[in-house]
Amino acid sequence: MLAAPDARLGDTTMGLTDGPGPFGVLLQQYRVAAGWSQEELADRAGLSRRGISDLERGQRREPHPSTVRRLAEALRLGDIERGGLLMAAQPRRSPVATTPRQESDFSHANAVSSPSWPLIGREAELGFLLSSLERVAAAGRGHLVFLVGEPGIGKTRVARELLSRARAAGFGALVGGCFEQYAGLPFFPLVELLTQAWQTAPDRVREVAFKRWAELGHFVPDVLRPPALSGDDDQLRIFRAVTGFLRELASERPLVLFLDDVQWADSATIDLLLYLVRHVSDSRTLVLASCRDAEPGAYDGLDELRGELVRERLLDEVSLGRLTPDITGVLIRSRFDTRVASDEFVNLVHARTEGNPFFIEEVLKSLVEEGTLFLADGGWQWRTVDEIRVPRSVRLVVAQRVGAWPDVRLGRAPGRHGGDGGADPGPP
């Protein structure tokens, strides 16, 4: 009853082309979100447990539409999810089949481990985001949604989920990542995003772009020669070109644009974001931006951007909190079998990590590495311990990611345990 092989814990290369395939991944996500076992889903959908298992493992990748409908009904999926499931069941030549380009949408360094692990919990947040997508697609009411939360809380993961659902429902989905070390480079994330936009643009839109928006050449110089910079209105011309191009794309099919980690966006990108959001308010374009929680004023330009767009009713915010012990248990059970995920074990992990998913993953990985979690008799077992000790290497990784938390989250400094850099039992 192994939920997944240990090699997949933290695997950063695993794409949806491997393993269960898009249909299996989606089905498992929906089932886990419903809190059902394979048997329960099989009962409700009038299918065999073996059938469900085959679908989730990718043994069967293209089920008959009537099977998909039964599953969607049993899972009480909404229209977008139902459409996504149906499209994921299409033969691989369909647009939703995973292609290398889709994977590379998340190629920037913050793209995180195994995209095929199911998203756990977050139903309310995802539901809100899906309704934003619907509003954009149905009523052409473009706006910005800020996805905020502490480091490692799951902003990128939730955005990834939304993008995959959006793609499955026929949206164009484009991604640009910001990085601390490139915060000074003008328009850094836009280069990634507009390169994808150009690659996926239909010929008609490209032809319009050739005629009207030569400034796009600043982002895709291989295909368009940018005009020489001339003075004061350069920036405005660039804003107009980018906005015009994206609006034209959205006239073909609705768009979702995701900017990851905008706390590190350069100031030109922030200015463009403000301009763009104001000029897509009547277009089928949802802009999603993830941002780490911070005190007001911590990140240049973001407070102003948020203030302006809130006043203009063009901004929604979705805040991600820490996982409860129950949801932490579901997350652990999604990766290990139930013998491991006893309440006692879940409580230990939750107490040690306070429900931060990144920290949970790192702790689980270290428990496998040190042998507290181990494979025996065809399943995972855990060597009972009173407390979960976090090795120094993991504390360093977490400290690098979460910056300001070490005192609270990582317990006493190694020196207070003899300075040997060994495991830290955490706060007293």
Ligand X SMILES: Nc1ncnc2c1ncn2[C@@H]1O[C@H](COP(=O)(O)OP(=O)(O)OP(=O)(O)O)[C@@H](O)[C@H]1O
Write out the residues near Mg ion by the rule CB under 5 A.
Answer: 110, 155-156
**Residue 189 interacts with ligand X (CB under 6 A): yes or no:** no
| Residue number, 22 or 142, with CB nearest to ligand X | 22
Q: How far is the CB of 153 from ligand X (least distance, A)?
A: 4
| Residue number, 49 or 401, with CB nearest to ligand X | 401
Q: How far is the CB of 218 from ligand X (least distance, A)?
A: 27
Closest CA to 355 of 324, 330, 326, 399: 324
Of 15-23, 47-55, 116-124, 172-180: span binding ligand X (CB under 6 A): 116-124
Choose among Mg ion, ligand X, none what residue 154 binds, the Cβ cut-off being 5 to 8 Å by kind: ligand X
- The one-letter amino acid code at 31 reads R
Q: How far is the CB of 401 from Mg ion (least distance, A)?
A: 9
Subset of residues 142 to 181 that bind ligand X, contact rule: CB under 6 A: 149, 151-157
**Residue 361 interacts with ligand X (CB under 6 A): yes or no:** yes
| Cα–Cα distance, 286 to 147 (Å, whole number) | 13
Residues 6+ apart with CB under 8 A from 91: 62, 97
Q: Which of 17, 113, 281, 338 binds ligand X (CB under 6 A)?
A: 113
Beta carbons within 10 angstroms of residue 275's beta carbon? 17
Comparing every residue's Cβ against ligand X, the nearest one is: 154
Subset of residues 394 to 423 that bind ligand X, contact rule: CB under 6 A: 401
Q: Which of 68, 120, 241, 289 binds ligand X (CB under 6 A)?
A: 120
Choose among Mg ion, ligand X, none what residue 120 binds, the Cβ cut-off being 5 to 8 Å by kind: ligand X
Q: How far is the CB of 381 from Mg ion (least distance, A)?
A: 32
Q: How far is the CB of 122 from ligand X (least distance, A)?
A: 5
249 in Cβ contact with 172 (< 8 Å)? yes
Q: How far is the CB of 83 from ligand X (least distance, A)?
A: 23
- Secondary structure string (H, E, C) spanning 33-59: HHCCCHHHHHHHHCCCHHHHHHHHHCC
165 in Cβ contact with 86 (< 8 Å)? no
Residues 6+ apart with CB under 8 A from 311: none
Choose among ligand X, Mg ion, none what residue 200 binds, the Cβ cut-off being 5 to 8 Å by kind: none
Of 11-19, 110-118, 221-229, 373-381: span binding ligand X (CB under 6 A): 110-118
Closest CA to 183 of 274, 302, 295, 296: 302
For the record, the structure tokens of 278 come out as: 């104001």
DSSP annotation of 71 reads: H
- For 174, phi then psi, to 5°, come to -125, 145
Subset of residues 4 to 63 that bind ligand X, contact rule: CB under 6 A: none
| Residue number, 70 or 401, with CB nearest to Mg ion | 401
Choose among Mg ion, ligand X, none what residue 151 binds, the Cβ cut-off being 5 to 8 Å by kind: ligand X
Closest CA to 101 of 173, 191, 207, 178: 173
- The one-letter amino acid code at 273 reads L
Residue at token pair 């990128």: 156
Q: How far is CA 218 from the centre of its chain?
A: 28
Subset of residues 234 to 273 that bind ligand X, contact rule: CB under 6 A: 261
Q: Where are the alpha helices (DSSP H) in 78-187?
A: 79-88, 100-104, 123-139, 155-168
| Residue number, 79 or 326, with CB nearest to ligand X | 326
Q: How far is the CB of 335 from ligand X (least distance, A)?
A: 9
**Residue 329 interacts with ligand X (CB under 6 A): yes or no:** no
Q: Give the interface with ligand X as residue ranges (CB under 6 A).
A: 110, 112-113, 117, 119-122, 149, 151-157, 261, 292, 331, 357-358, 361, 401
